[in-house]
Amino acid sequence: MFSTTQFHLNGVKGSIDPLKLQFEGDQEPDFQSRLPEEVDVLVIGAGPAGQLLGTQLSRFPDITTRIIESKAGRLKQGNADGLQCRTIEIFEAFGFGETVLKEAYWVNETTFWSPTEDRTGLQRSGRIRDTEADLSEMPHVILNQARLHDLWLESMKWSPTRLEPSYGRQMTEMKIPPGQDERVEVVVKKTDQTGRESIERVRAKYVVGCDGARSGVRTALGLELRGDSQSTFALFRRGSSSIANSML
């Protein structure tokens, strides 16, 4: 049992949320000044897919993960705000589902409108439940995408690795090695806050393209887009390549 004496002596470790873990390293990592020369997983893109993957990998200190994002910083204005009930279930697994439910607008019903008989106005012609019965215990909600991104970033920040995206970085080239056990070399263009550009080179066991419909990873692999352009990401490891669909 965790007694008040223990709390007084040791304080509280990490967050009050048991799914958020305290950083256990020697010092706070620096994700912005430079990238390491070698990583286990390099994620290209810090959108919803990249943040979900990064949050999952941030729980494992033995896996060196980096996320690069071409934008200069975190998302400040969202592009899409609707969240399906299955998505809320995913958030529950990462510990911030309750926060989303408290802050979001719940879409409980959908109402249909049609012109009046004299065509001078509108009248309600139907009303249905938004989410079908027994689909999920979670509702369909609306929450600003920028806020959602911040929840992912907070979840990564409270992880054992303190993971954060490395901003102002764009992949310009991906070199596939001839050997099965060799690492993939990625050339990254870094742009600092003054606009000065420099080149970084990272060697990774895995490169995951979460960089949207115009994926540079997909192009480097010589693959064609299949499926929905808004929900496709490419995963590559030497010896195998695939296109998978991921929709939040």
Same domain, 127 and 75: no
Segment 47-65 mean pLDDT: 94
Residue 26 lies in a domain: no
Among residues 98, 120, 142, the one where a domain terminates is 142
What is the tens place of the pLDDT at every residue in 131-143? 888 888 899 999 9
Q: Are residues 72 and 174 in the same domain?
A: yes
pLDDT for the residue numbered 238: 43
State which residues form the domain around 224: 38-80+149-245
Is 30 domain-assigned? Answer: no
Confidence band (pLDDT; 50, 70, 90) for 2? very low
Across-strand partners of 243? 234
Largest CA distance in the chain: 76
Q: Residue 151: name the closest of 87, 63, 246 by CA.
A: 87
* Last residue of one domain, picked from the residues 124, 142, 160: 142
Q: Which residues on adjacent β-strands are paired with residue 42?
A: 66, 207
- The whole-chain average pLDDT of the chain stands at 83
User: What percent of the chain has a predicted confidence (pLDDT) above 70?
Assistant: 81
DSSP state letters, 133-185: TTS-SSPEEE--HHHHHHHHHHHHHTSTT----EESEEEEEEEPPSSTTSPEE
Arithmetic mean of pLDDT, 77-88:
88
The DSSP string of 67-82 is EEESSSSS--S-S--E
Asked if the structure places residue 88 within a domain, the reply is: yes
What are the residue ranges of helices labelled H in the chain?
A: 4-10, 48-57, 85-94, 97-103, 145-157, 216-220
Q: What is the pLDDT of residue 239?
A: 41
- Confidence band (pLDDT; 50, 70, 90) for 242? very low
Task: Tell me if 7 is assigned to some domain.
Answer: no
